A and B are shown apart, each in its own frame.
Chain A
Amino acid sequence: MDMFNIHLPIAGIDFNILILITIGFCVGTLGGFFGVGGAWIVTPALNIFGFNMPFAIGTDLAHIFGKSIIATKKHSKMGNVDWRLGLFSIIGSIIGIEAGKRFVLMLEASGNVGPVVRWVYMIFLFGLGIYMIYDYVGVMKIQKEQQKSGDISKAPVEAVSPMAMKLRHIKLPPIISLPASGIVHISFWVVFFIFLITGFLSGFMGVGGGFILLPALIYLVGCPTTVAVGTSLLSVCFMSGYGCFSYSMSGRTELVAAMIMLIGAAIGAQIGVLATKYIRGYGIRLLFAIMIILAGISVTFKQAEGIFKLDMFNTMAAYFVMGSAGSMTLFIFVKLLIGMKQDKD
């Protein structure tokens, strides 16, 4: 496999080009489908294959930046991006992220930061995942009852969550409308506060925030799932662009590796975005719930490594997250092929 090795000038190592393309492909598919950056997959994957860790996060952010531009453009063409909402999300998130970072620094001074962040991360991953599965099961039950009573519909129509309905009743001016999301009126402050909180959590946990933003857009703002995916990607695009520049300033990006990963991500992003045409609304929510629960299990392994001081758990965490990402990518790809075949028939 040495023939596929390429010299990475900044990191100063030789690295297999096929591994970079494959990682990019998996993250591209998941990113295009779920509207997330996917840094939590790339960093451990690069780590396992021996990529220089000081460069891993920055390189990852650089490739996510390029990939999210591709996926956002594609989603925008499909009418899945609410630009106005995306703009509010960026403003609210930036302030929230900064506040979250400062809170982490405050905790750091008291020596509590490490495991606390990881525990909060685990609670959110498992909590959101379980809630989304609970929501999915509820909808499926209603659909079954409707089918029994003769009111048969092939796929459940996405309803606005009760939480979002309640939040829309808050009439604090200015009131805005978000036509692309089908929202006639909502208080600007509600939207701003939601993004402030999600941004705070992103800054606190040190993650891109796609996995928090997507459920927030669905359950709190009340966006249709595909619009939530597209709009979340727009936000990821800005955040990763800023992250790419700032990590490059710290000397932590490897441009050649990021460019190669983008080749795989470009193909993956197309597949992920197209798959949202065939796996719609509640299907995306269910797969997202499964994915974040799997990510939560991986974080649990990492936490176990800290508690039991066994490096084995760290390796298990990385392999687990890679295996989960690979399986999910394969599933999305197969579903896309089946959908396209049915379209042709």
Chain B
Amino acid sequence: MRLSFGLRYFISLLFLALLVVPLIPSNIFADDEEAGGELKYEVNTSEMTGFNLLLGKLYNEHRILYSLVVTLTMAFLGMLVAVSTDYVLRLLGIRKISKGH
């Protein structure tokens, strides 16, 4: 089977990328590697009130709940914006633009 130019190009690219692996030593990425680890930090809630206090307490004391709140809030807001902008666009009569082609 004769490989097309594109496929040969991609395979060469992959090999080139792999060849680099043993060639360049050192470890200047240290900061980036640490970026994903657990953060040793506590929010100072002493002067907080309302929503901020709730968020700060969740962050300090219930990390799983905080993670769920962050993830679900972003998902909910994303869906809310998606649905509401569609509604607004329909009201403005721009629906045609958002329909298929």
Q: Which A residues have a C-beta under 8 Å from some C-beta of B? A: 7, 9-10, 12, 53-54, 57, 62-63, 65-70, 73-74, 77-79, 107-108, 111-120, 123-124, 127-128, 131, 135, 161-163, 166, 206, 219-220, 241, 244-253, 255-256, 258-259, 262, 266, 270, 274, 277, 306, 340, 343
Contacts and interface: CB of A to CB of B under 8 A. Distances in A.
Nearest to A107: B21
Interface in B1-60: 1, 3-7, 9-10, 13, 16-17, 20-22, 24-30, 32-33, 35-39, 41, 43-44, 48, 52, 55-56, 59
B88 to A, nearest CB: 10
Given A74-B82, A74-B86, 13 more contacts: A9-B56, A10-B43, A69-B79, A77-B99, A116-B20, A123-B16, A123-B20, A131-B9, A163-B6, A219-B10, A248-B67, A250-B39, A252-B36
Given A12-B43, A70-B78, A248-B70, A116 B99 contact: no
B13 to A, nearest CB: 4
A57 B99 CA distance: 34
Interface string B62-83: 0110111111011101110111
A123 B13 contact: yes
Contact of A123 (B17, B22, B43, B82): B17
Given A12-B43, A65-B78, A163 B7 contact: yes
B70 A70 contact: no
B74 A251 contact: no
Contacts of A259: 73-74, 77
B39 A54 contact: yes
A245 B67 contact: yes
Contacts of B38: 250-251
Interface residues of B, number: 61
Contact of B52 (A7, A53, A79, A113): A7
A79 B100 contact: yes
A251 B41 contact: yes
Contacts of B16: 123, 127
A65 B83 CA distance: 16
A113 B4 contact: no
A166 B27 CA distance: 40
Contacts of B39: 54, 250-252
Nearest to B29: A114
A327 to B, nearest CB: 24
A316 B101 CA distance: 41
A113 B68 CA distance: 32
A65 B99 contact: no
B17 to A, nearest CB: 5
A285 to B, nearest CB: 13
A262 B32 contact: no
A9 B26 CA distance: 37
B98 A66 contact: no
Contacts of A162: 4-7
Contacts of B17: 119-120, 123-124, 127
B91 interface: no
A248 B20 contact: no
A73 B82 contact: yes
Contacts of B85: 70, 266, 270
A130 to B, nearest CB: 9
A117 B71 CA distance: 29
Nearest to B98: A77
B82 A255 contact: no
B13, B71, B79, B101, most chain A CB atoms within 10 A: B71
Nearest to A57: B35
